[in-house]
Structure 1
Amino acid sequence: MFEFFKLAHRPLRQWGTALAMAGLVGATTFVPLPAAAAGNQLTDVTFMLDFSAMGRHAPWYVALDKGYFKQAGLNVKIVPGQGTAQSLQALEAGVAQFAFSDPTSLVLGRARGVSSGVFVEMNYQKAPYAVFSLKDGANVTHLSQFKGLTIASSSDSMTPRIIQGLMAQRGMDPSAVKFTNVAGSARPGVLLSGKVPAIETFVFGQVGMERSAKPGNLRTFLLADHGLTLYSDGVLVKQDYLKAHPKIVKAFVSASLKGWHDALSNMDEAARIEQKYVPSLNREVIVGELKLLKKMAVIPVTKEKGLGYIDPARMKESVDFVVKYVGIEGTAPMAKDLYTNEFIPNPPVMP
């Protein structure tokens, strides 16, 4: 039914075997901690990102570099992912103990009975789905302009269904927006050259496009600022691992949120740190992504409850949105079964 799940549930050997055979080492994407000194044993765990390391992933590298994981008794490997669905599959296969993924992928997986992940921290409180256009082009500033709009996307992207879901939720005809297939890496170029009126990609793409667009010409339409109440990426752990190793999970969550606090508080420092592990990244781009990341991570509830907190009402809204507007195969999971705040530090890590 979904191209998304054709990708999400490819046999692990098609994409993950190479990672496993290589000890989960992605070229230039991470540097593991040194072996623990004698008498100071650390627990080895693997954390899989949603994609290759980018500026928005700096908080994890800050936690790694500052020794927060090590102080918590963990030797953490940060490895690249190939999308949120694949990260979820890696978690189920035991390739990683912790994975960065999203509720949409989890709901679809739980409905089909192929996922058992539980969120232990939610990092993107606002969803990063965005539509970009040009001021001297489509100049999209309101959802009503999606009627008749052609947006460059791809068959393996879930964003079109989310866009159409938001339109339906707001009483619009979801078939009124059109999508054309353009590879993700090519989308900024075709937009800036005027070949398409709009593209969809994560809001973090704004940083690179602003560097290439005419000053003031890029228009960013963040769905979360126009009515979309959908959680996005957070840290997932399998249910059985959660039950067997609660102390490890608690240690990971606490250390990672310290990294988030530091990265959002000192972005220049975070950029310098991440560059040590991912030298190919541009420091200005990292800082630019972190500025956007802060807008995704720090909202009223996290100012009150702390970073990573999962709001029950918002999680239910997220699950209901996926079930009603994205569509599932199988039995809809209960929102309460998809998360726990048990491992959020007390006192919380404030932004």
Structure 2
Amino acid sequence: MTLGVVATAVFFSTSAIAKEPVKLAFQLDWRIEGPTAPFFLADAKGYFKEEGLDMTFDSGSGSGNTINRVAAGAYDLGFGDVNALVEYLANNPNSPRLRAVFMTYDASPAAVIALKSSGIRTPSDLDGKTLAAPSFDGARRAWPMFAEANGLSADAVSWQTVDPTLRETLLIRGDVDAISGYVFSSIINLEARGVRREDLVVMPYPEYGANLYGNAIIVSDRLIESNPEAIAGFLRAYTRGLRDVISSPDASIEFVRQRDSLIDVATEQSRLHLTIESTIDTPATRENGIGDVNMERLQRTIDQVALAYELPSGNVPEAEAVFDSSFLPEANLRRIFD
């Protein structure tokens, strides 16, 4: 056998035993916007491929739907509000179990927003007012926690249920007194409609006594049992993507534009900056690295969610059943603000 034949034989024999990429489907929490940059940057740069993963990413329609789709097996992983995860686990004790494995939003982006011209300045000014939000809005769902932290009753305000595309418009027209929403969605949407940020009153929940966690990477116990290596590999690649985005937020929007050519680049750059500033770059993530949680704080969050959502007491999960840190990359790799 000639050298060339031997080389060819070796090539085909090693190719035959090479592992096929693991195909994973990921459900985002919302539309393709600035905050999705870490996923698309990591995919475009081949970080997932280097971990042996072949990823598919789909836009979402709210954390609740994302959680249900991961639980149903339609998706392997998802990005959703950990508070919605607590609610799901408590209300579905016999359904497939899910866990958060990476906390991206160390601070919840939930907020109440009003125009300064309304005269609203503090939470107490909201008493008797009308707020607008979709029924599935995370900030609206968490309103009882915000209200309790600020001495208001849960029914201190009236809610107008609206389509997400109309929420900011109703506020500008004066049809409602305030809105609830995620800061990086509603503020940027209001600015896009000509409202200056200095003309807004913004009350972020974490700054007003409701120190909640936000969105996390969520997986099912089914995937944990069948392919834990894929979860660890996904988180390593995602962390690399997140580090790159933090290092160069504006440039990273190009990877979002590649997925949706119709986005307004400047708007999504602003949205991404606000996402980083309000939810990711916190004293805790600077000290301990991105991705992990303080279990005592998480347990307090769970207790707040259980009370606010009136969850069945016997089914409320403990922090250890909500968050699993065993798949996180090493701490030095998660210190992305060094």
How high is the TM-score relative to the length of structure 1?
Answer: 0.84
| Matched residue type, 1:105 | A
Any conservation in 1 of the 2:133–2:159 contact (CA below 8 Å)?
A: yes
Task: Report the CA distance shift for 1:115/1:243 in structure 2 as closer, same or farther (over 3 A).
Answer: closer
**Could you tell me which residue of structure 2 aligns to residue 218 of structure 1?**
200
* Structural RMSD (CA): 1.8
Q: Please list, as runs of the form range in 1=range in 2, the aligned pairs for 1:1-351 lying within 5 A after superposition.
A: 41-112=20-91, 113=93, 114-138=95-119, 140-204=120-184, 205-215=186-196, 216-295=198-277, 296-329=279-312, 331-346=315-330, 347-351=332-336
Q: Residue 40 of structure 1: CA displacement?
A: 6.7
Aligned equivalents of 2:121, 2:53: Cα separation in 1: 46
Residue 332 of structure 1 and its aligned partner are, at CA, apart by: 1.0
Partner of 1:32: none
Q: Which residue of structure 1 lines up, in the alignment, with residue 10 of structure 2?
A: none
Structure 2, unmatched stretches of 5+, are 1-14
Contact 2:137–2:181 (CA under 8 A) maintained in structure 1: no
Letter in 2 for 1:314: R
Q: By how many angstroms is 1:240 displaced?
A: 2.6
Q: Is the 8 A contact 1:88 1:115 kept in 2?
A: no
Cα distance in 1 for residues equivalent to 2:217 and 2:267: 24
Q: Distance in 2 between matches of 1:77 and 1:187?
A: 31
**Deviation per residue, 1:59-92 (Å, 9 max, x gap):** 1111111111111111111111221111111111
More helix by share: 2
Other-structure match for 1:9: none
1:195 deviates by: 2.0
TM-score by length of 2: 0.87
User: Higher Cα Rg: structure 1 or 2?
Assistant: 2
User: Residue 264 of structure 1 contacts residue 290 of structure 1 at CA under 8 Å; is this kept in 2?
Assistant: no
Displacement of 1:339 in angstroms is 0.9
CA displacement at 1:276 relative to structure 2:
0.9
Contact 1:305 1:348 in 2 (8 A): no
- The one-letter code sitting in structure 2 at the alignment partner of 1:69 is F
Q: Deviations over 1:179-209 (max 9, x none)?
A: 1222211011111122222111211121121
Stretch moving more, 172-181 or 235-244: 172-181
Unpaired runs of 5+ residues, structure 1, are 1-36
Q: Distance in 1 between matches of 2:86 and 2:272?
A: 28
Contact 1:132 1:199 in 2 (8 A): yes
Separation of aligned partners in 2, 1:73 and 1:214: 46
Question: How far apart are residue 214 of structure 1 and its match?
Answer: 4.0
**Cα pair 2:62 2:136 within 8 Å, conserved:** no
Q: What's the secondary structure of 1:237's corresponding residue?
A: strand
Measure, in 2, the Cα distance between the counterparts of 1:303 and 1:239: 30
The alpha-carbon deviation at position 115 of structure 1 amounts to: 4.5
CA contact (8 A) 1:106 1:115 kept: no
Q: Structure 1 residues 111 and 214, CA, compared in 2 at 3 Å: closer, same or farther?
A: closer
Count of aligned pairs between the two proteins: 314
Provide the rounded CA distance (Å) in 2 between the counterparts of 1:197 and 1:179: 10
The residue matched to 1:176 in structure 2 has which SS? coil
Determine what percentage of the aligned residue pairs are the same residue: 25
Maintained 8 Å contact 1:133/1:218: yes
DSSP-derived class of the 1:236 partner = strand
Q: Using the alignment, how far apart are the partners of 1:233 and 1:160 within structure 2? A: 15
Distance 1:155 1:78 in 2: 25
CA distance 1:324–1:107, shift in 2 (3 Å): same
Structure-1 separation of matches of 2:225 and 2:170:
48
2:142 aligns to what SS in structure 1?
Answer: helix
Structure 1's 172 and 137: CA in aligned 2 closer, same or farther, altered over 3 A?
closer
